[in-house]
Amino acid sequence: MTHWESVIGLEVHVQLQTQSKIFSGASTHYGADPNTQACAVDIALPGILPVMNRTAVQMAATFGLATGATINHRSVFARKNYFYPDLPKGYQISQYEIPIVSGGKINIGEGDTLKQIRITRAHLEEDAGKSLHDGLGEMSGIDLNRAGTPLLEVVSEPDMRSPAEAIAYLRKIHSLVRYLKICDGNMQEGSFRCDANISIRVEGDSELGIRTELKNINSFRFIERALNHEIQRQIDLIEDGGQVVQETRLYDPETDQTRAMRGKEEAHDYRYFPDPDLPPLVIEDAEVEYLRSSLPELPDARCDRFIDAYQLRRSDAQQLTADRGIADYFEETVREAGGNSKIAANWVTGDLMAALNRDSLPIEQSRVSPISLGRLICRINDQSISGTIAKDIFSDLWDNGGDVDQIIEARGLKQISDSAELEQVVEKILSKFSEQADQVRQGQGKVLGFLVGQVMKETGGKANPKAVNEILSRKLSP
Amino acid sequence: MPHRQSLSALNRMLATGGISSTEITTHFLDRIEQNQQLNAFVSVDREQTLAQAQQADHSRRNERNSNLKGLPVALKDIFCTQGLLTSCGSRILSNFVSPYDATVVERLDKDGFIVLGKTNMDEFAMGSSNESSYFGPVLNPWNTARVPGGSSGGSAAAVSARLAPAAIGTDTGGSIRQPAAFCGLTGLKPSYGRISRYGMVAYASSLDQAGPITQSAEDAALLLQTMAGFDSRDSTSLDTAVPDYLSALNTGLENVRLGIPKEFLDPSVDAEVLSAIETALEEFEKLGAKLVDIELPNSSAGIAAYYVIAPAEASSNLSKFDGVRYGHRTAEFSDLLDMYEKSRAEGFGDEVKRRILIGTYALSAGYYDAYYLKAQKVRRIIANDFSQAFKQCDLIAGPTTPSTAFTLGENLDDPVSMYLNDVFTVPVNLAGLPAISLPVGFDQSGLPIGLQLIGPYLKEANILSAAHSYQKVTDWHQRIPGDYE
């Protein structure tokens, strides 16, 4: 049986989170009424001219620096010409021959599976508007709010060999752009989009097979499914004696199918040429150095530091550092929790993330602050409350807010460690369950747990389990 | 009578209170109405224009603001103006009213200039005869069987017939200088980047430049002073200080080296034109200028390079006219492609279609290197020729056009001979330099002849002062066509 290898390259469209558009002063805010955020430049009135948004340039350069790429001191904007109603000028301003960022790399995997994915280039361009078809009968509508939103198109080399690697790469880019605060990473709103180039070849071959391009696959889940589907389609095709045709295909998540959009013959001749309205984009060394010095700690470095400084397992550290907001949250929690990093890691990766996922909230909108979580951990640590009670308090905080200590006080949840008080409860339980007490005395140690449970139940979970254990063991020792 | 005065003279009269803006404006509006046969104007709003003149008079009386000139000027229909049609001589924009003013319009308005109306032009500034306009040809006031030149033909005809004291045009390959030469006027194309292109409908973005079409160099200086300067909305506009053009006018010609390129005096130029140029050059010598023989060896390749670069840029610039958001949309269509095709087929005239096709071809995969890139190389070589020449001289002089105004329809079936009209003007645009055309005589049939002065980059003041020196001792620029005196 032939072993097939898939070869994948990705083009990621990163919407840069500038206040205004790449070539105009209109707002880039998402979700406004159609065409309320499109100025004369965006709707391409006669006589308009583009003016470069410097913040977009700096964001692009920052991405380049964070991936170890070359920042080209002089890059050129070109016009990509084609007709489409959501493309108001009849051309898209993009970078063609000389992009702002060349080269660069992203590491995926770890240990034996550590692999470097090369970034060919990253270039600046403007987004198009949107065509609207719903609720307009036979008409089509055009919303130009998105037209002119700055995009950074990140093009990888065909270095990925499986959908899993492609996803890992994509997650890394996603994490990075959020670290750099150049993109909100919101895939539902289209702030982070991906096209994939896929081919297959017999394992061990060095020649690349004929590739297809999968357009606009816009969630991590769909990307994996779409890639798997497309790879299988190509394998089936070749094993049945057919050939892959170079074409652009669209993935339909409803049917889990891809279908041909346009073939090579129908490919546009975009007639690229340098845009005469924009002088070459120049970025001086001083500006590059300033941006380099402003780079935040990047995910890989932060992950290593977390393992080191907080003594975390790599998997926990990776989970905690994948998102800058979560990493920040974690570190603030640890500070508040008096350095109790392992318990903090368990809480953040456990209850907190579960709650965020359940309510579909980003970390920035967490209903429990890192300060509250840190205090909660302190109370566990100083044995004021048990872990079980802490989970209950966390839910309370999440749903109703409030202060950890006040909740413990008001609801009387403070752990009972006072031995006199616990002795009484233990006596009561031993007389109630004398049969089980005898069993323990006769050496059936397992039954001890049952008795501890009964004490806990009697105290509403407030008894310090360790103390209960001690008292019971002493009283029942043969 | 106000129409026998230059813009500068009217400015002085207004300043001394000898005349009001309302009187001047009314007079010119009347003349526009009485001379519609020239077809120089596309749209005029008499009421609105008069209201502005009255406002200007009021402001000058009450605020004593000497910056508010109250002078009327005509504006080529390529500049976006709120409230007035901006058609660009095309059917595809024949219903378009801009919601914003071009920077040129804003600056004119700020200094109190009043827009008399929008002038006819070759469609999208593509043409050398003003015959490609959707609104029909403009006639030359010197001889109505002749073309006024193009593409700023309406602007030139309007000033020539004194329907306006001055006008604003645009020049991509000669569109200010050639009509100025054909109509006996002074036409200045400033350096590329000197005047903002914001709000000027683009034909060929790397070549387009606005400028004045006037009766004299002094008038040109007055308008350039208002229009020049950096504009943050145009990334190709220059962020350098604007000199005082008016006070530089009297610098004189003493020891100014005038380079005469032998390539511009070749036998293809009409003998009467050559003779008028030679006489004018003698006059410049009398004024103190030194004539120097120079070479512009590659200028003959200018037309070829221009007719690749300009259409290439135009093919892309004109893509926005697709019937989707504004402008002409075909009445009936079956689908999107059909709508595009019909709207554009109906909306554009033949010359525009020709240039869109040439430009699209030149940029196509497989042809780009041979045409577009090669043309860009030629462009750099031509610019370099000028740099070399300016090591030996201060200004370059020669004929503006190879002939005087030709007959309407004469070149319509022969685009190439039409294009050759721009042989002396096009290299200047390719090099981004400033140049002026000024009247230096008439041929035997009474048609004006223009001389072109080309300056180094940003040396508008030198060109204007040289032209002004000549105009102080000659009166060609004061001649008015007989029917319009």
Mark which residues 394-453 of B lie under 8 Å from A by CB.
Answer: none
Confidence of residue B66 (pLDDT cuts 50, 70, 90): low
Task: Supply φ then ψ for residue A44, to 5 degrees.
Answer: 60, 55
Q: How many other CB atoms are found less than 10 A from the CB of residue A79?
A: 25
Q: Report the distance separating Cα A310 and Cα A306, nearest Å.
A: 5
pLDDT exceeds cutoff 70 at A457: yes
* Inter-chain touch A47–B93, beta carbons under 8 Å: no
**pLDDT number for residue A198:** 97
> Where do the H-state alpha helices sit in B368-459?
374-389, 415-419, 426-431
* Chain A nearest CA to B234, separation (Å): 6
* Inter-chain touch B198–A48, beta carbons under 8 Å: yes
* Chain B nearest CA to A407, separation (Å): 59
**pLDDT number for residue B1:** 87
* Inter-chain touch B80–A47, beta carbons under 8 Å: yes
Q: Which amino acid is at B204?
A: A
Residues of B in contact with A52 (CB under 8 A): 235
**ipTM greater than 0.90:** yes
pLDDT exceeds cutoff 80 at B67: no
**pLDDT number for residue A459:** 82
Inter-axis angle of helices A299-310 and A163-179, to 10 degrees? Answer: 90
Q: What is the dihedral of CA A381, A384, A386, A387, to 10 degrees?
A: -40
User: Which residue out of A269, A273, A278 would a mutagenesis test of the B interface target, given it has the greatest number of B Cβ atoms within 10 Å?
Assistant: A273
**pLDDT number for residue A265:** 67
Q: How many other CB atoms are found less than 10 A from the CB of residue A250?
A: 16
pLDDT tens-digit readout, A144-175:
999 999 999 999 999 999 999 999 999 999 99
| CB proximity A280 to B under 8 Å | no
Q: Which amino acid is at A322?
A: A
Q: Which of A142, A170, A141 is nearest to A156 (CA)?
A: A170
Confidence of residue B65 (pLDDT cuts 50, 70, 90): low
Region A89-118 average pLDDT: 94
Task: Supply φ then ψ for residue B274, to 5 degrees.
Answer: -60, -45
pLDDT exceeds cutoff 80 at A419: no
pLDDT exceeds cutoff 90 at A217: no
C-alpha dihedral sign at A395, A400, A403, A409: negative
| CB proximity A361 to B under 8 Å | no
Contact between A196 and A229 (Cβ < 8 Å): no
Q: Report the distance separating Cα A141 and Cα B333, nearest Å.
A: 16
Tokens at B304, concatenated: 């070829």
Q: Which of B69, B176, B70 is nearest to B119 (CA)?
A: B176
Residue of A nearest to B93 (CA): A46
Residues of A in contact with B365 (CB under 8 A): 269, 271
SS3 of residue B255 by DSSP: coil
* Inter-chain touch B96–A51, beta carbons under 8 Å: no
pLDDT tens-digit readout, A229-271:
999 999 999 999 999 999 999 888 788 788 888 776 677 899 9
pLDDT exceeds cutoff 70 at B23: yes
* Inter-chain touch B320–A49, beta carbons under 8 Å: no
pLDDT tens-digit readout, B93-125:
999 999 999 999 999 999 999 999 999 999 999
Residues of A in contact with B347 (CB under 8 A): none
| CB proximity B98 to A under 8 Å | yes
Average pLDDT along chain A? 91
Of B235, B313, B325, the CB nearest to A88: B325
* Chain B nearest CA to A24, separation (Å): 9
pLDDT tens-digit readout, A273-308:
999 999 999 999 999 999 999 999 999 999 999 999
Residue of A nearest to B233 (CA): A51
* Chain A nearest CA to B446, separation (Å): 38
SS3 of residue A319 by DSSP: helix
* Inter-chain touch A43–B86, beta carbons under 8 Å: no
Residues of A in contact with B197 (CB under 8 A): 49
Residues of B in contact with A46 (CB under 8 A): 80, 86, 88, 93, 96, 98, 201, 320-321
* Chain B nearest CA to A78, separation (Å): 11
* Chain B nearest CA to A295, separation (Å): 29
Task: Supply φ then ψ for residue A206, to 5 degrees.
Answer: -105, -20
| CB proximity B5 to A under 8 Å | no
Phi-psi region of B127 (alpha: psi -120 to 50; beta: other; left: phi over 0): left
* Inter-chain touch A46–B197, beta carbons under 8 Å: no
pLDDT tens-digit readout, B135-189:
999 999 999 999 999 999 999 999 999 999 999 999 999 999 999 999 999 999 9
pLDDT exceeds cutoff 70 at B215: yes
Of B319, B360, B372, the CB nearest to A89: B319
Residue B331: burial class (beta carbons within 10 Å; 0-12, 13-18, 19+): exposed
| CB proximity A52 to B under 8 Å | yes
DSSP A82-93: ---TT-TTSEEE
pLDDT exceeds cutoff 80 at B371: yes
Of B96, B319, B368, the CB nearest to A46: B96
Region B84-93 average pLDDT: 97
Q: Which amino acid is at A338?
A: G
| CB proximity B313 to A under 8 Å | yes
Catalytic amino acids of B?
76, 151, 175
